[in-house]
Copies of this chain bind each other. A is one copy, B any other.
């Protein structure tokens, strides 16, 4: 590999890792703001999204610059294309974290509501998926990428449990409908953040093995992806 290309790719990789850390932090804080009814924290999260958006745009520019300057082929080209996609996923995740903060802000304006404890587990799981999917990308670790894909089922299970609890709560009283809808949205948005981490992990599996498991979860179970 061209030494300049290698240096530029490493730089790009560091930027994307830093962006992923910002997203993890935003998710963690949004859930903390939910449990601690911290209005200030929720507000600062909504404002912080702009910095992540800007970074996404700059990373995309850097990808295009690398494509134009080094005209990478084969594995290097796939790597830059993967970063372009991961970048978009991370920006969407930051967007979702900011949506969670919005829901939390609305919840905090009303009287306290019972927060299903599953939210903490789900947020921790989601964040480990975000970190691991990026780790799998940097280290080209197929096993780790496949583990992230499998974890998504667990997040979905927590999401379903939380939603069942929220529905019960909403049915108790008409006053519970609006806070319940906010809790429902938070759960759905967390689940979608985990979906984006799964997208990244699936792209990593494709990058390493050439197997398309995106849209084919059964391939994971059937051992088709070695």
Contact = CB atoms under 8 A, between A and B. Distances in A.
A225 interface: no
Contact of A215 (B54, B78, B85, B167): B54
A226 interface: no
* Residue of A88, A163, A177, A181 most packed against chain B (CB within 10 A): A177
B53 A214 contact: yes
Contacts of A219: none
Contacts of A181: 163, 167, 181, 184
Contacts of A78: 64
A125 interface: no
A74 B68 contact: yes
Interface residues of A, number: 34
Main secondary structure of the interface of A (DSSP, over half): helix
A50 interface: yes
A71 interface: yes
A68 B88 CA distance: 22
A84 interface: yes
Nearest to A78: B64
A1 interface: no
Contacts of A71: 71
A128 B77 CA distance: 35
Contacts of A12: none
A68 B73 contact: yes
B68 A212 contact: no
Given A57-B214, A177-B171, A212-B57, A67 B67 contact: yes
A99 B109 CA distance: 31
A138 interface: no
A212 B57 CA distance: 8
Interface string A51-80: 001100100100110011001011001100
A183 to B, nearest CB: 11
Nearest to A80: B67
